[in-house]
Amino acid sequence: MAQQINAKLNKLEQDKLKLEAEIKSLKKQQIQELSALLSLVCEDHQIDPMVLLGSCLETANDSKTLSLRKEEWLKAATSFRKKNKARLSALLDKKD
């Protein structure tokens, strides 16, 4: 009985480690994609990346505006991502 419990605990620990590694990998991919998307936005609109970052930080600190426009911005970001899928893929392939 104790061996079965230990075996299950070991299996759960292995599963936990695999999931943690997968989460870490997905976060890294997400950061790379976000970086590429921001590069495209800056390129398309001729915006300095630090200006864009400052704008994002200012918006994040304004909870009223953030809550009012969050859905609108998510739709716009999703649309931009879809429209620029090929350009995004090219940027992500370069980084690998």
| Residues contacting residue 38 through CB under 8 Å, at least 6 positions apart | 49, 52
Report residue 11 as tokens.
């299996």
Q: Where are the domains of the chain?
A: 2-95
Residues 11, 4: Cα–Cα separation, whole Å: 10
Tokens 């590069």 identify what position? Answer: 39
Interval 85-94: pLDDT, tens: 999 999 888 7
Which pLDDT does position 94 carry in this prediction? 74
* Average pLDDT of the residues in 26-49: 94
What is the model's pTM? 0.71
